Structure 1
Amino acid sequence: MPKHMVARSVVVDAPAKRIFDLVATPSQHAVIDGSGTVQGAQHGPERLELGSEFGMDMKMLGLPYRMTNRVVEFEEGRLIAWKHVGSHRWRYELRELPEGGTLVTETFDYSRGQTAFHVLSGSPARNARGIVRTLERLKAAAEAEEV
């Protein structure tokens, strides 16, 4: 794992398209978020693509706030990443497996500046826990979807 990145993976018993559609739809982010910070979509497109800007209602330590994100990496059905005013990125990578299912990797990439702040604030460990819970929720949602 490269320095200043936190990533976790899970195998989901669903096609990559179904999983990607959940991640690329901002209104679903509060459903799959395991960190407890994402409260709901505020503005933006129904479905994300490269360059999309979307706003989310957030809450941390009991304090509500709003965050605007921009999609900075995008490959339909395989990769999506966004960033907000900070330089770090949230990335989802999907790879369908030959034996069935899809390997989903979520990454918190804080390698593009402010690394000391993230380390001192405990973000890597806190985000690792949130990523694990998010992947559990994403797996449950994707596997429960009607075909």
Structure 2
Amino acid sequence: MGGFKKFLLRGNVIELAVAVVIGAAFTAIVNSFVKDVLTPALSAIAGAPNFGNLKWQIGDAVIGYGNFLNALVSFLIVATVVYFFIVRPYELLMARFAPAEPKETRECPQCLTEVPKAATRCSACTSELTPVSEQGSGSRTGQV
């Protein structure tokens, strides 16, 4: 029983629960916006009073595509909001605070061309170089 309690009180479970509740509330807002505001505006342009009533009849078969259009517009709005207000700011924040990746190259002290750290000769000017170990500071090394 202690393990279950520990599982429930872990931060990521609570965060997930909050995300689901907020997501459901946000979905209701977006669906209302699409149904009550956007769909009537687009329907007025298209000439139909409501997308939900749009149908296509082929013989005796009736294909109701209006609700699909409502759902598609709703999805696009949600995806746009999630990308521009959650994903993109998160990516920018992570890029700003992420540790710098160690350089795999260094500059040749003679011609300033980028060469691999383990190189013993510069590929541009053929100067002899002292290889730099992975634990090295990555600073320029002199000729041998």
Whether these two folds match at TM > 0.5 is no
Larger Rg: 2
Superposition TM-score, scaled by structure 2 size: 0.24
The structure with the largest strand share of the pair is 1
The structure with the largest helix share of the pair is 2
